[in-house]
Structure 1
């Protein structure tokens, strides 16, 4: 298993807690941290003892307060393209993970940190969390997929307002516009994320993974192509033992015992 300098990874009860661990930098994303995130999700994808992921930041101030500006300030045009594409590739891997990923947003989620949260499947925020894409204040735009994902989640108008004004919004406003799925007190954040993920993991794992894929790719397709994908994946699940078990358990009024096959 890889060793991480800027991340911590703990696994218990099929839940991986992956934490960005640069609290002295408010967990800002430098190149090494982004590469380690890619390695961690590659590791997680291959681990049979992991069913889902909670992604968070170390400390109580920041989930991820943005990209590492000191590092970005040195980039030229070609470097800028490479920096953006690295982040895009890693965040896309997170978005397309068939194992559900919940962002436990425990403070600032700004710039690249907000984009990281957007790449997760669900976002649970603490009451002190703040979200924002303030890149235009630095003379740049979001480069890790934020210009695509935010409009898909909250709508184009609200997304452009956040990006063009560079203003931060608090957790209650993020919930109101659909950016956050839930808002809870900071002390309850990780417990709530665990309970939510445990509820998801009680369901058929293949079905959960294909629901993620269908919803994610379907939003990138025409309606007809999305419906074709849905029917194909629906049919594919009919070949699984989990479907037989799930339906038999329902008919027998008992809890299903899924095997992921």
Structure 2
């Protein structure tokens, strides 16, 4: 972009606003000016001009030439170049029709509405909008399957790891609440779920289950809420979450929008995991523990 744009614009505008008047000159004056300035071909100019030559004689052929240049035959499909015609007309005579959306296609609802209305007219319509919707559906389905498989695999490991089977449910409660909190804050902050940050949901279960296992193991060994918080486990879980949070949170400063969204959403998710694991899970363990028989 040019420097001092407003100043330059004003200068250009002033040039156009200046009145320009050209005084007519005689042929003798033109001949003298041409020779003084050494114009190309000035030595071949005649010293006099035939007075019988008029403007119509001088510019008659020019008018005919301009008329010929501006006159065009009617443009038809057959008159177009073959390379251009083949882009829009198939060998079967089918025409390519391009529809441009009026709404912003980054809005998912607007995209779905545009595709739905287009396919009502042309069921086989295709293009970038349709491709992005189909790819989005494939990726969403893949991550739904990934979430189900990760939850199932984690549940199997927990069943094998913890002593009390109800602890499996207690460990999953903070993880489920962290997922809901992350999605809720994303909606509140107007952050869209995209192809990059959708990976956060499976990561919530993978990154958060470690805290749950350590907290449950320590609580079952001390069997009291106050004794649990006097151990090193809460501090260790806090430091572990903070180091992981610092690692993924650094992605927020990335210029790449996908990396930025991953860092931002993971920061929200890990913060939720930290709160629910260190506050809610010990309380659930305290409330659900069996009372000693007196």
Q: TM (normalized to structure 2)?
A: 0.22
Q: Which of these two proteins has the greater Rg computed from alpha carbons?
A: 2
Q: Could you tell me the TM-score, scaled by structure 1's length?
A: 0.24
Relative to its length, the structure with more strand (as a share) is 1
More helix by share: 2
